[in-house]
Structure 1
Amino acid sequence: MAIRLGINPLTWTNDDMPELGAETPLETCLAEGKQAGFEGFELGNKFPRVASQLGPILQRHGLALVSGWYGSRLLERDVDAEMAEAEPHIALLTALGCTVMVHAEVARAIHGARATPLSQRPVLSDADWDLLAPRIEKFGRRLKARGLHLAYHHHMGTVIESQADVDRLMATTGPDVGLLLDTGHLTFAGGDPVAAAERHAARVVHVHCKDIRPAVMRDVKARDLPFLAAVLEGVFTVPGDGCVDYPAVLKPLAAAGYAGWLVVEAEQDPAKAHPLTYARMGHDNLARFARSAFG
């Protein structure tokens, strides 16, 4: 099986709500992630951002760096300015052997705004698309020259959230722009991750495996809560603990020859969802789904 299983530290500690898991040291996250069976971690807010510091820490735990989130503002600045802003992040990822960069456009985004309901998320005009898509494509081309494949992360509360947004991004950019398929975000946005996997399998370069609790999703949508409030309510969980059909999602990716990471990224309140328990559950369920799909 060519794929590898990784995890995001959001299971233990939250980037957008640092008070969640604030008391949990990085060493605990890494040790428990390894104990749960994962081969690598994505970056989080407790990780050193210098390769000479982070590399030995990961090596001590027998873990790889999978990738890390980068939020661009390409609606507000050109690609040269964005590359300059991203340079420390690019240098860290390349120094530690990553092959993809998790990327989302965060200009106008509301996912971190604790009082703004998701119904007020930004929507791109045709003129915005005409500006943004070529810049993302050029950014991806520049990253490719540095050895990283741009993995575009559609995300709740951002300008590229819905299945229609994802389809349009894929249609208006070329293969230098890879897709990060996030099963939880797409389901929450009203899309179908199975259909997206079938339609865009050849462009998928990274996968975030978060599941959805459907009753919670219906409730938070009915109350029109902000994104972070929905997280606190427990809308996300680990693979196999919600409604996402992972065998059906993974099958077209396997058929297309996907050979990257499958990353458990299921932000929850660690006081309600015991991190090691959910990390083990996520790993074991995802490993079972992956064996079935990839052989």
Structure 2
Amino acid sequence: MTDSQPLSAAPPATRPPALDRIRVGSAPDSWGVWFPDDPLQVPWQRFLDEVAEAGYPWIELGPYGYLPTDPGRLAQETGSRGLKVSAGTVFTALHRGPAVWDETWAHVSQVAELTRAMGARHLVVIPSFWRDDKTAELIENPELTAGQWRDLAAGMERLGREVRERYGLDIVVHPHADTHIDGEENVARFLDATDADVVNLCLDTGHYAYCGGDNVKLIETYGERIGYLHLKQVDPEILAEVVRDGMPFGPAVRRGVMCEPPDGVPALEPVLEAAQGLGVELFAIVEQDMYPCPPDQPLPIARRTRRFLRGCGA
């Protein structure tokens, strides 16, 4: 090269797409919290301290009663740490028909009232399990009858209307392993049977992959029904063992089936890009099921996961 020859400019660094419609947060689940009170779980104050330290501005309430249920106190505790609430979570068994409505509503109204008081707009609805998480004992038939599907759809629509009318919240139904709303076939059946105006989906990327579903395909097919995201990955090798052994979800989690991104499936980059392409604002709340876990385990994982998501543009 002679002195008269210009130096070649270095190629620009490749930047991830800006996911400006995705609001990232985390949840008590990522700290090993499954129950309102359990000696194996970290105290709620530690969860709030560490989720803020890890760089997440949004959280979910988790199991009702884990965080303070007095709105004034919870607002003070979250606000002092720069945190905001994106959603509450409820558990339902609406496929059992109108007989369970009063019991369901008693639970839902408690959570919805606190969720509204915290300024959130979503209620995540998780269907009941058909087998016991610990013993693997069958609680119900894994397959619903046609009548139970009708009760499930009608009950969810009623829940969506009542929650919106009374509390101004939108319900988002969470497909979940070991429930009747799980993989591609049952999720599609549920969505086709319900009114999009009042019932939409919380797509949990890990649970949907755990049950054999293609997350990007679901977003592309039912994009207008995706109202909320949970970001999670599964370890495919451990999942193969879980499927082979017919293992319930709880023991599968203890075996480590839900793993730290980006080590598992589905790849989160295309999922986030597909969600961004929907053209609506979406919460994407990180959950890494790991109950129970050592108390010092969650924070380093949360930091690394937040750094990974920033690298994805979120």
1:211 and 2:233 aligned: yes
Residue among 153, 161, 164 paired with 2:185: 164
Who is 2:11 aligned against?
none
1:144 and 2:164 aligned: yes
1:288 and 2:311 aligned: yes
Q: Report how far residue 63 of structure 1 moved.
A: 0.3
Who is 2:298 aligned against?
275
Kindly provide the amino acid, as one letter, of the partner of residue 10 in structure 1.
D
Matched residues, number = 288
Per-residue Cα deviation, 1:173-225 (whole angstroms, up to 9, x for no partner): 12210100011001111111111111122111110001111111111221221
CA distance in 2, matches of 1:282, 1:205: 22
Equivalent residues of 1:11, 1:270 under 8 A apart: no
1:25 and 2:43 aligned: yes
Per-residue Cα deviation, 1:137-179 (whole angstroms, up to 9, x for no partner): 1211222222111110010111111111111111111221010
Equivalent residues of 1:163, 1:190 under 8 A apart: yes
Q: Report how far residue 123 of structure 1 moved.
A: 1.7
CA distance in 1, matches of 2:40, 2:282: 29
User: Taking structure 1 as reference, are residues 117 and 263 closer, same or farther at Cα in structure 2, changes over 3 Å only?
Assistant: farther
CA distance in 2, matches of 1:40, 1:204: 19
Kindly provide the amino acid, as one letter, of the partner of residue 286 in structure 1.
L
Equivalent residues of 2:60, 2:85 under 8 A apart: yes
CA distance in 2, matches of 1:86, 1:25: 24
Who is 2:52 aligned against?
34
Who is 2:15 aligned against?
none
Per-residue Cα deviation, 1:199-257 (whole angstroms, up to 9, x for no partner): 12211111000111111111122122121100000000233221212122122221111
1:8 and 2:8 aligned: no
CA distance in 2, matches of 1:11, 1:219: 23
Kindly provide the amino acid, as one letter, of the partner of residue 99 in structure 1.
R
Per-residue Cα deviation, 1:84-118 (whole angstroms, up to 9, x for no partner): 44111110000101111000221x532x5301179
1:194 and 2:216 aligned: yes
User: Taking structure 1 as reference, are residues 57 and 37 closer, same or farther at Cα in structure 2, changes over 3 Å only?
Assistant: same
User: Taking structure 1 as reference, are residues 290 and 140 closer, same or farther at Cα in structure 2, changes over 3 Å only?
Assistant: farther
Pairing 1:45-84 to 2, within 5 Å after superposition: 45=63, 46-78=66-98, 81=102, 82-84=104-106
**Can you give the 5+ residue segments of structure 2 that lack an aligned partner in the other structure?**
1-19
CA distance in 1, matches of 2:142, 2:37: 24
Equivalent residues of 2:94, 2:101 under 8 A apart: no
Who is 2:115 aligned against?
93
Higher-Rg structure is 2
User: Taking structure 1 as reference, are residues 190 and 16 closer, same or farther at Cα in structure 2, changes over 3 Å only?
Assistant: farther
Q: Report how far residue 75 of structure 1 moved.
A: 2.6
Who is 1:132 aligned against?
152
CA distance in 2, matches of 1:17, 1:138: 27
Segment of structure 1 superposing worse, 34-43 or 121-130? 121-130
Percent of pairs identical after alignment?
28
Q: Report how far residue 18 of structure 1 moved.
A: 6.2
Q: How does the TM-score come out when normalised to structure 1?
A: 0.89
CA distance in 1, matches of 2:135, 2:275: 37
3-state DSSP class of the match of 2:312? helix
Equivalent residues of 1:240, 1:286 under 8 A apart: no
Segment of structure 1 superposing worse, 82-91 or 211-220? 82-91
Q: Report how far residue 136 of structure 1 moved.
A: 0.7
3-state DSSP class of the match of 2:87? coil
Name the one with the larger helix percent: 1
CA distance in 2, matches of 1:284, 1:174: 38
3-state DSSP class of the match of 2:94? coil
Q: Report how far residue 273 of structure 1 moved.
A: 8.0
Equivalent residues of 2:24, 2:58 under 8 A apart: yes
CA RMSD, aligned part only?
2.4
3-state DSSP class of the match of 1:136? helix
3-state DSSP class of the match of 1:207? strand
Kindly provide the amino acid, as one letter, of the partner of residue 214 in structure 1.
P
Equivalent residues of 1:41, 1:65 under 8 A apart: yes
CA distance in 2, matches of 1:234, 1:20: 20
Who is 2:258 aligned against?
236
**Can you give the 5+ residue segments of structure 1 that lack an aligned partner in the other structure?**
none
Q: How does the TM-score come out when normalised to structure 2?
A: 0.84
CA distance in 2, matches of 1:63, 1:30: 8
3-state DSSP class of the match of 1:101? strand
